[in-house]
Structure 1
Amino acid sequence: MTSYEYDLACTRLTELRAEADTAGRARRLRAARRWARRAEYASRRAARASAAVR
């Protein structure tokens, strides 16, 4: 492997790591939004149940 090929391989590896990092952040963000939505629905359900008891 020449130094030029080595440099290209290192650059490509850096790009792949950046893409994977971005994908991981997007996945975590989607999961966080999903959990926040579930928590909001649970809160509303609890408020309705509490209001129905009164």
Structure 2
Amino acid sequence: MDNTTLKRSKKMELMHENLARAQMRARLGEAQEMRRGHQLAQAKRLSRKAEKAAQQARLALARVL
């Protein structure tokens, strides 16, 4: 191979590596978004559960009084 061919080959290799890095960053970003979504859903569930427990506690206290 001559020098020009080697330069082109190296350039293509670098392009593929850059593409792979970009795809990996995109997938990591998607995974983080999914985690945020799951965390938000879990927080909402726990909030509803806490509200329900608080309401039950208020009802129990009202019965005692």
Instruction: Identify whether the pair has TM-score above 0.5, normalized to the shorter chain.
Output: yes
The percent of aligned pairs where both chains have the same amino acid is: 31
**Residues 1-54 of structure 1 correspond to what in structure 2 (within 5 A)?**
2-54=13-65
RMSD: 1.1
Unaligned segments of structure 2, at least 5 residues: 1-11
Number of equivalenced pairs = 54
TM-score, structure 2 as length reference: 0.79
Unaligned segments of structure 1, at least 5 residues: none
Q: Distance in 2 between matches of 1:40 and 1:32?
A: 12
Output one character per residue of 1:17-37: Cα deviation in whole Å (capped at 9) or x when no partner: 000000001111111111010
Q: Report runs of 4+ in structure 1 exceeding 4 Å deviation.
A: none
> Once the 2 structures are TM-superposed, how far is the Cα of residue 7 of structure 1 from its aligned partner?
0.8
Task: Look at both structures and tell me which one has the larger radius of gyration over its CA atoms.
Answer: 2
TM-score, structure 1 as length reference: 0.94
